[in-house]
Structures are given as C-alpha cells and as structure tokens.
C-alpha cells in the first residue's frame, strides 16, 4: 500500500511542477510588458480596421489539428470604440458569426465584449503585441462548455498579424488556435 501511495504522491507532485512551469515559463506566463520595445507597434484601431482575411487551424487536446478555418472580418472604429465582425467557415462546412465590441483605453488597455463571452474580456496592447483574456461559451453543438482563453496577437508588419490562442478548462489546455490575419485587398 505504501508503494501505491508513494507513486500517487509522486504523480501529484509531477503534475504540480508541470503546472507551475507552464504558469511561470510557458505561453500563459507572457506579459504585455515583454513586448514593450518591439516594433512595429500595434494599434488595434488601425490594424483591426477594414476588411481582414484570417486563415487558421485549431489543435485538439492531443496536439493534432482538429479543425481548419477561414474567416472574413470587418473592423470599424469611432475613436477608441470599435467593432470587429467575424464570419468563420470551418473545414466541416459549419459557419459561425461573432461580433466583438472593443474599447481601447488611453493607456493601451482593451476591453472586449461579444455575445458568446461570459463577462468581459480584458487585455492590453503594448509594442507589437496584443493580449486578451476572456471566458468564451462554446455553442451547444460543441458541448456548451465555458473555456478560459489566453489570446495573443503579434503584429508582423502593417498588413499581417499572427494570432495564437489557448483554451483551458479547469486550467488544463484543451485546444489551441493559430491563425494569420491579413488586411484584405480592396
């Protein structure tokens, strides 16, 4: 019995160490200040404005691609308040629409709202990066789960943003999204 107990204690300690390592050294440990001196500087009023084409993949919990998508987006701004309308088409043929309502503070802080969010999202743009944290509720067809999202966008040039998002349930990564967003040619 003591061998089984020791094995269980060892497994719990290993899981705790892995969780701590990810929390303090992994993707979710990034801070907007880490990118303060990177250029070109992102300004979501400019870089999330007008027509945008997005192409990406979603990885499942085992790290394999579970879905691919394209999205047509349209950003509109009036001062520091804007909307980003998104129309997704997934490789399964499923379509999804979302409209973000964004507010940019004078200090670079961002507040985000959408109908499928639980509460408001918060984040900050700094240097070439934008960070958002929010809880999203999946559609009932996808289980209706509420997932915590860590979303990072990295400005590559005036027309290109790389988006990486991780989705967690009870602190465990259940999905990851990687996408390229480009200003659409008019």
1-20 pLDDT, tens per residue? 588 877 888 777 777 666 66
Q: What average pLDDT does the segment 127-144 reach?
A: 93
**CA-CA distances (angstroms) from residue 130 to 41, 133, 161?**
10, 10, 10
Give the domain ranges of the chain: 1-30, 32-183
Query: Rounded to 5 degrees, what angle do the CA atoms 67, 22, 179 make?
Result: 30
Radius of gyration of the chain (CA): 18
Percent of the residues in the chain that have a pLDDT greater than 70, as a whole number: 94
Query: Burial, 39: exposed, middle or buried (Cβ in 10 Å; 0-12, 13-18, 19+)?
Result: exposed
What's the confidence (pLDDT) of residue 30? 85
32-183 architecture in CATH? Beta Barrel (2.40)
- Report which of 185, 177, 170, 161 is spatially closest to residue 43, judged by C-alpha positions: 161
Q: Which two tokens stand for residue 61?
A: 């919990």
| pLDDT tens per residue across span 13-51 | 777 666 665 556 677 888 989 999 999 999 999 999 999
* Element holding 5 (H helix, E strand): helix 2-25
What's the confidence (pLDDT) of residue 142? 81
What's the confidence (pLDDT) of residue 22? 58
What's the confidence (pLDDT) of residue 141? 83
Q: 114 or 16: which carries more pLDDT confidence?
A: 114
Cα separation, 92 vs 86, in Å, equals 18
Least confident piece of the model among 53-57, 137-141, 167-171, 176-180 = 137-141
Least confident piece of the model among 16-20, 25-29, 123-127, 173-177 = 16-20
Q: pTM for this structure? A: 0.84
DSSP states of 12-75 as a string?
HHHHHHHHHHHHHHSGGG--GGGGTT-SSPP-HHHHT-EEEEEEEEEE-TTSSEEEEEEEEEEE
Residues in Cβ contact with 129 at an 8 Å cutoff, skipping those fewer than 6 apart:
32, 34, 35, 38, 42, 152, 153, 154, 155
Cα separation, 29 vs 183, in Å, equals 29
Report helix, strand or coil for 185: coil
């Amino acid at each position: 019995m003591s061998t089984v107990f020791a094995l269980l204690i060892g497994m719990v300690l290993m899981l705790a160490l892995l969780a701590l390592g990810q929390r303090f050294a992994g993707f979710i440990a990034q801070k907007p200040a880490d990118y303060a001196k990177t250029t070109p500087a992102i300004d979501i009023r400019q870089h999330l404005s007008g027509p945008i084409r997005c192409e990406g993949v979603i990885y499942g919990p085992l790290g394999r691609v579970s879905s691919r998508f394209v999205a047509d987006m349209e950003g509109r701004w009036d001062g520091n308040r804007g909307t980003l309308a998104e129309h997704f088409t997934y490789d399964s043929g499923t379509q999804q629409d979302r409209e973000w309502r964004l507010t940019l503070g004078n200090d670079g802080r961002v507040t985000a709202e959408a109908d499928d969010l639980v509460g408001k999202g918060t984040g900050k743009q700094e240097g070439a990066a934008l960070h958002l944290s929010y809880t999203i509720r999946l559609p009932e067809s996808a289980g209706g789960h509420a997932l915590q999202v860590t979303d990072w966008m990295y400005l590559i040039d005036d027309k290109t943003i790389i988006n990486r998002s991780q989705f967690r349930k009870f602190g465990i990564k259940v999905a990851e999204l990687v996408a390229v967003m480009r200003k659409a040619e008019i």
